[in-house]
Structure 1
Amino acid sequence: MNRRELLVTTAVDLATPLVVFYGLRAAGIGAGPALLTGAAAPAARALYVLLRYRRPEWFAVLVLVLCVASAATSLVGGDERVLLARDGLVTAALGATLLATVPGTRPALFTVGRLTLTEAGHDPAEWDRRWTASARFRGVWRWLTVGWALGLFADAGLRVVTAYTLPVDVVPAVHAVQWFAVLGILLVGGQVWLRLPRHRDLIFS
C-alpha cells in the first residue's frame, strides 16, 4: 500500500466513522444506530475494493464481515458496547494474520519491508539472497512479525476493556487515538529492533 492509499484508507476507515458518529449523536440519534451508520463508510470502501479489483482482498472481506456481524448483533438485541468491542476483533484478526505468516515462506513484515525497498528504487535481490542464505536474517524478520502480532493482540484486548468500561460516547475517540498510538509504537519499535547493533549491518549494509 502506497502513501496515497494509506491516507485514503485512514480517512475513510477511521476519520469518517468518527465524524458520522459524533454528528449523529449531536443530532440526538442513539449510540447504536450512530455506530452502525458510521461503519457504513469503511464497509462501502471495502465493497468498492472487491468490485473494482474483482478478487478477494482479505482486509476488505474482514471489514464487510464485521459490519454485517455488527448489524446482525444489533438486530438480535446486542447493545452499543458489543458494537464498540468489534474494533478489538479487527486488530485481533490483523494480529492473527501476521502471526500465521511467521512459519511460512516469508513473514509479513519481511514482505512489507521488501516492498518498501522496491518502491524506494532499490533492487531487492540482495535481500532475497540474504533470506535464502542467512538464518539470522530470517530470524530478525520473523521475530519482528511476532512483535507486531503481539502488539496488535494487546491493542485488541485494550479495545474490548475500554468498550465495556468507558462512557459510550468517549470510546470511539479513544479507539481512534489508541490506533495512532499503537501504530506509532510498532513503527518506532520496529525501527529500533532493525537498527540494533547486532542487526544493523545485516539489514542495512
Structure 2
Amino acid sequence: MNVNSKKKLIQTIVLSLVINGAIPVVVYNLLLNYYSSFVSLLIATLIPLGDNLYHIVRYKKADAFGLFMLTGFVLSLLAFVLGGNERLILLRESMVTGLLGLIFIASLFFAKPLIYHFAIRFSAQDQSEKKGQFAKNWELPYFRFVLRFMTAIWGIALLGEAIVKIILVYELSISAFLAISQLIFYGVIGAAILITMVYRRYAKTRLDLLTNGR
C-alpha cells in the first residue's frame, strides 16, 4: 500500500469515526433537552444509516457495510416494536456482527469455508481463472488449513466484538457507549485485517514452495 493509499484510508476511517461516533453522541445529548432518551437515541442512530445510504445511492451499489447498517436499522425498529429498550438499540450492530461471526464459524463445518468464496470474489478480476487456481490449490491440505484458519479468525473477531459490546452496554452510560463503540468496532476489524494480511503473506510464501514442488 503506497503513501497516498494509506493517507486516503486514514482519512476515510477518521471521517467514519466522526460520522458514526462523534456526531451521534452530540446529537443524542442535544436532543435529550427536547425528547425522551429512547427517541433521542433512535434519531441519533439514523445518522450512520443516512451516511451509508448516501454512499449506496452515490456509487450505485450496496456495499457490505451499507447493508450492515441497514440491517442494524431494521433491528432498531424491531427493538422499538418489542418495547423500545434503549440497550437493544445500542446493540443492534452487535447483533449483526455477532450473527456474521456465527456464520463464519458455522461455515467451517461445510465443504468450503466462507473465506474461500470471499477470496474468489474480491481478489481477482478474472474470477473464472481464480476459481480454477483455487480448485487446484484446494487439493493441498495446507491451503485448506489456511482458509479455515482465516475464517476462524474472522468468526472469532466478529463474535468477540459483539460479546464485548454486550458487556459494555450494561456497564457504561449511553453517551459513553456511543463514544467508544465505533473505536471498538474499528479496533477489532483492524486487528483482524492486520492478522489476515500478515498471515496471508506468510502462507503465500509457504504455498508457493508447495506448489512449485508438485
Q: TM-score, normalised on structure 2?
A: 0.69
Question: Match for 2:42 among 36, 43, 53?
Answer: 36
Question: What letter matches 2:30 in structure 1?
Answer: A
Q: Residue in 2 aligned with 1:200? A: 205
Runs of 5+ unmatched residues, structure 2: none
Larger mean CA deviation between 27-36 and 138-147 belongs to: 27-36
Equivalent-residue separation in structure 1 for 2:174 and 2:166 (angstroms): 12
CA distance in 2, matches of 1:20, 1:90: 22
SS of corresponding position for 2:150: helix
Q: Deviations over 1:7-61 (max 9, x none)?
A: 9x979986534354223234243542233123334555569969x77xx998766
Q: Tell me, yes or no, if structure 1 residue 24 matches structure 2 residue 27.
A: yes
Which whole-Å CA distance do the structure 2 matches of 1:86 and 1:32 have between them? Answer: 14
Distance verdict in 2 for CA 1:102–1:128, change over 3 Å? same
Aligned-pair RMSD on alpha carbons? 3.8
- Summarize the Cα distance change of 1:187–1:60 in structure 2 as closer, same or farther, 3 Å threshold: closer
Deviation (angstroms), 1:189: 1.4
Aligned to 2:152: 146
Decide which of 80, 89, 96 is 2:86's aligned counterpart: 80
Q: Quote the Cα distance in structure 1 between the aligned partners of 2:199 and 2:28.
A: 43
Q: Percent identity?
A: 20
Bigger RCO (CA 8 Å, 6+ sep): 2
How far off is 1:120 after superposition? 9.9
What residue in structure 2 maps to residue 90 of structure 1?
96
Q: 1:175 to 1:189 in 2, by over 3 A?
A: same
Contact 1:20 1:34 in 2 (8 A): no
TM-score (norm 1): 0.71
Following TM superposition, by how much is the alpha carbon of 1:64 offset from its aligned partner in structure 2, in angstroms? 4.0
Q: Deviations over 1:146-174 (max 9, x none)?
A: 12101111111000111110121011121
Higher deviation after alignment, 112-121 or 20-29: 112-121
Give ranges in structure 1 of 5+ residues lacking alignment. none
* Alignment correspondent of 1:70: 76
